[in-house]
Amino acid sequence: MVLGLVRVSYIFIALSMIGVLIYFYGFPQTTESEKFLTRLIELSFLFYTFRFIVRLIYELNPIKYIMEHWAETLIILYLVAEGIAFNFYDTFIIGEIFAKISGNEAGKEVFMDFSNIFIQLFFVIYIIIDIFKKRDFRQYFKIHPGLLFMLSILLIITIGTGLLLLPEMTNSNDISFIDVLFLATSSTSVTGLTTLDISEVLTFKGQLVVLFLIQIGGLNTIAFGALYLLIAKLGVGLKQHAVIEDFVNESSFLDTEKMFVRIVKWTLVIELIGAIGIFIFIHNNGLFDGTRQEVFYAVFHAISSFCSAGLSTVSGGMMNPLLVNNYFLHFVVLGLFFLGGFGMIYLFDLFGIKHLRNRMKYPWKTLKFDTKTTLYTTLILLVAGAVVFFIFEYNRSLVAHESGFGKLIVTLFSSMTPRSTGFSTVDFSTLSLPVMVFMLFLMFVGASSGSSGGGIRVSTFAVLLSSVSATIQRKQHVELFKRTIDTDTVLKAYTVLIFYIAGNLIGIFILLITEHNAIELGHFTLMDIIFEHVSAASTVGLSTGITPHLTVSGKIVIIVAMFIGRCGTLTIAYLFGKQMLSNYKYPKGHLMIG
């Protein structure tokens, strides 16, 4: 009876606190309202502590409960420690530490705001997980994986749009709904195109919302297979299992619960290392007013880089005059979006301790077939793009970079960014036409499967090339790295290619209609339109500068392209999974080809 009452109260309070936090941070507050809302938040923390104690009292084995709920235990201990420090010493322990690090009280306030939001979100997520454990949802979750993925992206965009529309998120009241929706879609789809300068238009709170959308959007992509396989335990058919295996690969299929935790851990560790590197190379460069801004810049750009978003809190991004020649910063960012676009499953194989030990102990053991395919194809594309860029831009955009090291970093950066993220250290509107065409090709291919990047994906491109090679050589089977590629995989690769080409053609055609006035006046060129749409559909985020000047209809086209680019090819593979698994066939027909 007591536990039941506490559980109901817990659900009500945790969900109510989310509404309180939205009102507290999203709307202007008076001194009285701020004190009242702060008191409500403190009372919620007191209730969480009370609930934890009650659970311990009623548990037969409290030690086991603490071990199984270690994250909740740590947060409760933090709340107890801070509660004692505040009530007896009128201070916050960790808050004071952050104040000393930042050199002012602002660091303390930022930390307290972060901790409030994090703790409330933790307990809401904890509720959801608890409900899933204690209820049978089989009848509700027998839905198609592709549909689930699409709905999850749409939900994140909707929440992000609603948050960004709150008064405290922007510095202006003149921002249109379509621009906010555009930004939310771009952030969630980790594209990077934007009609607004977020460094000027968004407040610190608004930039935090964008950062949240980027992180969740990126994780939603790279961890989707793991998330859905967790739900698959609740009752998903064998056919859907086969479809899901195409995304997470067969070797990780049986270890899904641990895989999702590994993805989150590796993501946070890589982003933390990247943030430290970025902070080191921007510290005291004259662009920021203090340590607080430098830390936020480092964290924001580490996440934006690894998740392949390409959004920046500095006007001009990497082309800002104080950053454009910071080659060590560019090197760190390049490494982050290379890893982010490579795919987490392949990173596990490349750098996982267990795999490294096995390869050192047994030299005959090599990389897995899919990892080898992705790695070699990625490196070939990187070198090809660098060679093309260096040859055609040596006497153009590279002239501004005098040192050989600078030219090398700019060349590699410009070769990698079209396949992953929208950061740029050169003005793409000034590039030569051959380079622009090759950049379109790189955007078209995109990043690796299971990564936060877009495009048709590297593995698809490798299979297509192998298929063409097999056809020319009249081989009966498609071969790649001494492995035979099954027919289903080849057909799926061609399906993705056809749908991707068709989607871009339709989108470009509609953009030519919506932007015909700007084209006739000479403001836009055909290459601008093609580049913009392919960039959006590939979730790259590069632009020749026309994004803010698109018509409302044009912006809607790009929004749709970004949304489809994030879930399109995956949705195609999943939604047509049942048809691909059909066993019947009609009598053979013959056609003349070529």
CA distance 485 to 375: 17
Q: What is the pLDDT of residue 336?
A: 92
At residue 247, does pLDDT exceed 60? Answer: no
CA distance 352 to 335: 18
CA distance 237 to 241: 6
At residue 137, does pLDDT exceed 60? Answer: no
10 Å CB burial of residue 408 (0-12, 13-18, 19+) is middle
344, 266 Cβ separation under 8 angstroms: yes
- Residues 6 or more apart whose Cβ sits within 8 Å of residue 528: 429, 544, 546
Q: How many residues are recorded in the chain?
A: 594
Q: From the centroid of its chain, how far is CA 336? A: 12
Q: From the centroid of its chain, how far is CA 321? A: 27
Secondary structure of residue 480 in the 3-state scheme: strand
User: Is pLDDT larger for residue 20 or for residue 91?
Assistant: 20
Within 10 A of 220 (CB to CB), how many other CB atoms are there? 23
Helix axes 105-134, 93-102, angle to 10 degrees: 130
Q: What are residue 202's phi and psi, to 5 degrees? A: -90, 145
Q: Which residues of 430-457 are buried (b: 16+ CB within 10 A; e: fewer)?
A: ebbeebbebbbbbbbbbbbbbbbbbbbb
Sign of the Cα torsion 347, 352, 354, 360 reads: positive
* 2, containing H or E segment: helix 2-26
pLDDT-derived band at 58, boundaries 50, 70, 90: confident
DSSP secondary-structure letter at 400?
G
pTM of the entire predicted model: 0.86
pLDDT-derived band at 251, boundaries 50, 70, 90: very low
Secondary structure of residue 482 in the 3-state scheme: coil
CA distance 386 to 315: 27
CA distance 323 to 332: 13
Helix axes 256-282, 204-222, angle to 10 degrees: 140
10 Å CB burial of residue 480 (0-12, 13-18, 19+) is buried
Q: From the centroid of its chain, how far is CA 130? A: 26
- Cα distances (angstroms) measured from residue 373 to each of 276, 369, 386, 389, 483: 31, 6, 20, 24, 11
One-letter amino acid for residue 354 of the chain: K
Average pLDDT over residues 325-341: 91
At residue 229, does pLDDT exceed 80? Answer: no
Average pLDDT over residues 223-240: 51
CA distance 423 to 438: 17
Sign of the Cα torsion 307, 313, 314, 316 reads: positive
pLDDT-derived band at 141, boundaries 50, 70, 90: low
Q: What is the pLDDT of residue 296?
A: 87
Average pLDDT over residues 337-364: 82
At residue 495, does pLDDT exceed 50? Answer: yes
275, 298 Cβ separation under 8 angstroms: yes
CA distance 327 to 573: 40
* 484, containing H or E segment: strand 483-485
Q: What percent of the chain has pLDDT over 90?
A: 28
DSSP secondary-structure letter at 485?
E
CA distance 105 to 31: 18
Average pLDDT over residues 229-241: 49
- Residues 6 or more apart whose Cβ sits within 8 Å of residue 490: 463, 467, 478
Closest CA to 189 of 577, 591, 594, 564: 564
Q: From the centroid of its chain, how far is CA 191? A: 9
Q: What is the pLDDT of residue 301?
A: 92
Q: What is the pLDDT of residue 220?
A: 65
Q: Tell me which of 3-17, 278-292, 495-509 is least confident.
A: 3-17
pLDDT-derived band at 39, boundaries 50, 70, 90: confident
CA distance 464 to 458: 10
Q: What are residue 481's phi and psi, to 5 degrees? A: 50, 50
At residue 579, does pLDDT exceed 60? Answer: no
- Cα distances (angstroms) measured from residue 374 to each of 260, 480, 481: 21, 12, 11
Q: What is the pLDDT of residue 255?
A: 52
pLDDT-derived band at 98, boundaries 50, 70, 90: low
Q: What is the pLDDT of residues 298-322, one digit of tens each?
A: 999 999 999 888 898 888 888 888 8
Q: What is the pLDDT of residues 396-441, one digit of tens each?
A: 989 888 888 999 999 999 999 998 787 888 888 889 999 999 999 9
Average pLDDT over residues 229-236: 50
Closest CA to 485 of 591, 370, 320, 321: 370
DSSP assignments along 81-94, one per residue: HHHHHHHHHSS-HH
